[in-house]
Structure 1
Amino acid sequence: KVWVGHNILRFDSARIREAFAEIGHAAPKPAGMIDSLDILMNKFGPRAGNMK
């Protein structure tokens, strides 16, 4: 299973793990992650982070 999200590497993956911990379960382990923020930063540079 691959996790895909915008800023998932720096933000969402930690929140997902915290949410599972709160209910007493281990978070699933992704086979990989695709972060759309990283893709945009590679294509458009720093302006992709603030969308200006």
Structure 2
Amino acid sequence: MNRGPLVLSIEEAEFLLDQLPPPSDSDELAKKLRIKLLEFLQQVRKGAEGSRK
């Protein structure tokens, strides 16, 4: 399998995350990863160029 970097804007990453259904209650790892990704995107947005502080 070929692998390469995936470059997304903050908006594109948030859109893709919104399109995925939430993980089932039994999948704790998926829930933790989703929460971490949401927190990461919020932090990135805070420091994004052109954002209000």
TM-score with structure 2 length normalisation?
A: 0.31
Bigger strand fraction: 1
TM-score with structure 1 length normalisation?
A: 0.31
